[in-house]
Every structure is written in structure tokens, then in C-alpha cells.
A and B are shown apart, each in its own frame.
Chain A
């Protein structure tokens, strides 16, 4: 049955992006229950692993939106001058960058995850985040700068 087969894929998509087993389990459950509901509709999509991973991505984006509402006040206060798009060095320690991603605020983390971990084009990132293309480009620029700063701070701490 497709649900059995898809479960490790959906969970395998969510776990490293959530960084938490309990959150990954919650979103996995949401994904499958939404899929079950979708198959009841007249224009039901064909159930495939790829489609279910897509649903998981939507659930993850929804989760980020919820957390963003919760941390809004804190996030606005803590966003000073990230606006400069520093070019990255060609060398990048990707493990350090993945770890640093978890310390960014939820907007930055969401944008970078969809754009880079998932490899989506900017227009699709914008759709998932419910932002305009321009706003998404600006957000990505800030997020890259924020990530760079965290990676640098952590490499100095060592």
C-alpha cells in the first residue's frame, strides 16, 4: 500500500528539515491525514511518493507560518542590518551551514530550506511562503547574510 511505502520518504524529508523527532512526527501525521482527506475529493490527485513529499513541504511551510506568528514580536526587534548581500566565499562547510540554519529565525530558515535544501526556484519559494517574488528575493538576501553571520560566529567559537 502506498502509505506504507511513502512513510519513510515523507519522514525522511521532514526529519532533517525539522531538526526534531516530535515535530517531524506531528507533520508526518498531518501530511498523511491530509492526503487521506484529499483522496475523497472528486478531483483526487494520483497518490505517489512524490506527491506526498510535496504535501509534506506544504505542511512544513504551514508550520513555519504558525511559528512566525508566535515569534513575530521577538523577530522584528532582533532584525537589525542584515540587508547587505555579502558574496559567499567559494568554500563552504555545508555541515556547519546546516547546523547554523537551525539557529536562524523562522522566516530565514523557511526561505533557505525551500530554496537550497529542496532546490526550488525562487518563484515556487514565494508561493509556499505566500509572499511576492520581490519580497521573497529580499528575504533570501537577508537570510543568506544571516546564515553567513551565524556560520562565522560559530567557526570563531571553536
Chain B
């Protein structure tokens, strides 16, 4: 049997945190249904914590391509699109702003004449569950993998590139993984 080109459409499950309000409501509902009344972890949706989402801005060359990449491949959801220059995406509590280089707004040239551009070494880090499978599927789909999966003490990591050449780091926690609790 010959390879089926549509196999490239494979979409591995990338975990995405739902909106905190929804998650808290659902977990409360589950706790009520299972008779698990006092569930401290379910009470995490303090309304004050819902404001001030950590926000990162990426400069991209083409808005539609960038939205398709982040929403289709990495589990972001579209919140607002103001073509041709701007979009706001969410992935759980992370807010990602996309601005098109050279377009009025954040992508406009600075007074000194420099133009914000895609690229560079800084990047967002996204947690996935099956990093090897995820990177394989992304590569099969034509996504550029700059650094293949390497295993460390705390995480396995890989570096991929969005269609504009911005880096995105993928991590999967290992034994030594730690976050502030």
C-alpha cells in the first residue's frame, strides 16, 4: 500500500487548559456527582487570578498562516482577529499576541526607523505529553524542527519554528521537573 498524503493531517493530542471558569465549574460538578465534597484543587478559580494573563507578543509575516499554525498545531484558540495586522490567541492561561511586521500597530516601524521582525532566540515554552510523537507528527506535517528531542534531568525538550521563523520550545516533564506551587 502506498503512503496516503492525508496521513500528514494527523493531530496528536496536545493538552490545553480550558478557561479557568469552565474548568472550575466542571470540576465542582464532578466533585458533587462523585460525592467528593471538599476538593481544594477545584477551588483554584479565584476570579482575581483570571485577570492579568501572562502575555507574549510574536511578530509574524502572515497573519492567517500564523493563526492556522498556532491553533491547528499547538492547541491555541482564537480570541480576536483584526486583519491584516493583529490577532489574539489563548492557550490555557497564556495569551499570545500576533502582530504582522510593518503593519500599523505594534508591527509599525519605530521612530528610529527599525521594524519589528520575526525571529531571534527568545521563545515561549509549551508543555506537551508525548513530545517524541508530537515532534514526529509536526515534522511529518512540514513544520521545521530546529532541534530534535533531547532528554534532560527535568524535561525533554525540542525546538520548532513557526511559519515566520519564530522559535517555539516544547517540553515534557521528566523526573526532576519542578514548578513553584
> Interface on A for B, CB 8 Å cutoff?
1, 3-4, 7-9, 11-13, 15-17, 21, 24-25, 28-29, 32-33, 36-37, 39, 53, 88-99, 101, 112, 115-119, 144, 147
- 12 A-B pairs with C-beta separation under 8 A: A3-B27, A7-B27, A8-B18, A12-B16, A12-B75, A15-B16, A28-B22, A33-B33, A94-B141, A95-B69, A95-B72, A144-B6
User: Could you tell me which residues of chain B, from 65 to 82, have a CB within 8 Å of some CB in chain A?
Assistant: 65, 68-69, 71-73, 75, 77
Contact check, B142 vs A11: say whether CB atoms are below 8 A apart: no
- B128-143 vs A, CB cutoff 8 Å, 1 = contact: the mask equals 0100000000000110
Residues of A within 8 A of B42 (CB): 4
| B133 shortest CB reach to chain A, Å | 11
Interface-lining segment among B7-15, B47-55, B117-125, B150-158 = B7-15
Docked Cα-Cα span, A28 to B17, in Å, equals 12
Chain B residue total in the interface (Cβ 8 A) = 39
Contact check, B142 vs A7: say whether CB atoms are below 8 A apart: no
Contact check, A116 vs B6: say whether CB atoms are below 8 A apart: yes
Residues of B within 8 A of A32 (CB): 26, 29-30
B92 at the interface (CB under 8 A from A): yes
Contact check, B75 vs A15: say whether CB atoms are below 8 A apart: yes
Given contact pairs A9-B129, A21-B77, A28-B18, enumerate 16 new A-B contacts (beta carbons under 8 Å).
A1-B36, A7-B17, A7-B26, A7-B27, A9-B13, A9-B15, A11-B18, A12-B14, A12-B75, A13-B13, A36-B33, A91-B5, A92-B8, A96-B68, A99-B72, A116-B9
Instruction: Using known A-B contacts A4-B41, A7-B23, A117-B10, determine if residue A89 contacts B5 with beta carbons closer than 8 Å.
Output: yes
B181 at the interface (CB under 8 A from A): no
Contact check, A33 vs B10: say whether CB atoms are below 8 A apart: no
Of the candidates A11, A93, A99, the one having the most CB atoms from chain B within 10 angstroms of its own CB is A11
Docked Cα-Cα span, A147 to B17, in Å, equals 30
Q: Quick one: closest A residue to B3, CB to CB?
A: A90
| A109 shortest CB reach to chain B, Å | 12
Docked Cα-Cα span, A118 to B69, in Å, equals 18
Contact check, B5 vs A88: say whether CB atoms are below 8 A apart: yes
Residues of A within 8 A of B73 (CB): 95
Docked Cα-Cα span, A16 to B68, in Å, equals 11
| B6 shortest CB reach to chain A, Å | 5
Instruction: Using known A-B contacts A9-B13, A28-B26, A32-B26, determine if residue A112 contacts B6 with beta carbons closer than 8 Å.
Output: yes
Contact check, B18 vs A97: say whether CB atoms are below 8 A apart: no
Of the candidates A1, A9, A117, the one having the most CB atoms from chain B within 10 angstroms of its own CB is A1
Docked Cα-Cα span, A93 to B75, in Å, equals 18
